[in-house]
Structure 1
């Protein structure tokens, strides 16, 4: 498994394909809600691509919001789930946040994944809220 920083249009297109498959096709998020103005190659937003045996199977992005890192659009294709790759994505995101001088991160977790994030040291700090038609909670972690 390799996590690489996306810096080409081809890699970004692969990430978008994965997100469309997971969020739009599997989970029913409206296509217009899945993609936004942060979906471009800029220094302000870092996109990651997860490769397993050379095949793109996952993606995530990091933005800075109010002095904190915000992890977004974290997903894996169905065939790549349950192999520890989700944990690897979070480790890569946290390392990237640290290199950017960020000591606190947050994410919006779908409620079914809340336990996964808790197992990695994230703490829930909100009530359940709706995001794109799915129940979410905000989770935070202080990085060391």
Structure 2
């Protein structure tokens, strides 16, 4: 796996343990003040390790996958953060877990890193706890099949992931722009990043009450007004569509989040599940074709 100026490889631990621990020691011990005796443990020789190096072969990042299905020891040198190294390491480890036929992987995320893991589909689970004196939260990623979304925190996480993982197309069916979900800060940031990263992206939003959205003044509406070439909005007009209580979010990578009741966050989600997401998208396209443009929102600049 490669990125701009670096590459990530699965490496043999006995051969590369010095390079792996040099990166980890720099990040965890020197930078985060984790006790040195905690940096190496008995799982290291048993784990799958990935190492990121720059074009000169200098180690810049590391991570591991333990036999019990946990991703950990994710470390990227400070000068390389924000350049895609961490994401490449994570995806390489997820690929290793999927190749082994595992149904899910977990990790303990430091609190500031939760959004990073959320963007790749990891869902928060349980209470915050301390590990090596640092606050963490357990997160998990389903590698096959659907997962149940039950809490608002999970709903925000999966919505953020679906937007982040979208390539060029995004479909949103929401009665009134889902207050508490689409206007959650991680979701708003994901929408902004999606709309501004490239010029060939498109998002179709199907809503039920444009007038109520205008009156509520959702921060999502402000984003839609600023980027009308990306976000297109229609209001359902068919009586059957207006009576439909469900809500749905889809992208063009086969990810989906479906809720039987648009007034609730609980529902079903899946990543890279085209057999399930494709019929949902076809249904939304039919609703879109028989819906009307939201002139009420265009009057405000949309």
Larger Rg computed on CA atoms: 2
Unaligned residue ranges in structure 2 (runs of 5+): 1-5, 145-302
Q: Hey, what's the Cα distance between the residues in 1 that align with 2:29 and 2:81?
A: 17
Task: Name the counterpart of 1:97.
Answer: 97
Q: Hey, what's the Cα distance between the residues in 2 that align with 1:4 and 1:49?
A: 6
Match of 1:57 among 60, 76, 100: 60
CA contact (8 A) 1:50 1:89 kept: yes
Task: Name the counterpart of 2:116.
Answer: 116
CA contact (8 A) 2:103 2:142 kept: yes
Task: Name the counterpart of 1:31.
Answer: 36
Correspondence 1:14-25 to 2 at 5 A: 14-25=19-30
CA contact (8 A) 1:104 1:140 kept: yes
Q: Hey, what's the Cα distance between the residues in 1 that align with 2:72 and 2:113?
A: 14
Q: Secondary structure at the match of 1:37?
A: coil
Deviations 1:25-83 (A, max 9, x none): 0000000111111222xxx4111111121221000111122xxx210101101011010
CA contact (8 A) 1:48 1:61 kept: yes
Q: What is the aligned-residue RMSD (CA, Å)?
A: 1.2
Q: Hey, what's the Cα distance between the residues in 1 that align with 2:133 and 2:102?
A: 30
Q: Which has the higher strand share?
A: 1
TM-score of the two chains, using structure 1 as the length reference? 0.91
CA contact (8 A) 1:6 1:12 kept: no
CA contact (8 A) 1:23 1:29 kept: yes
CA contact (8 A) 2:13 2:49 kept: no
Which protein has greater RCO, CA pairs closer than 8 Å, 6+ apart?
1
Task: Name the counterpart of 1:70.
Answer: 70
| Structure-2 change in CA distance of 1:8 and 1:130 (3 Å) | closer
1:47 partnered with 2:49? yes
Deviations 1:85-133 (A, max 9, x none): 1111111011111111112000000001011111111100021100000
Q: Hey, what's the Cα distance between the residues in 1 that align with 2:38 and 2:66?
A: 17
Task: Name the counterpart of 1:141.
Answer: 141
1:9 partnered with 2:14? yes
Unaligned residue ranges in structure 1 (runs of 5+): none
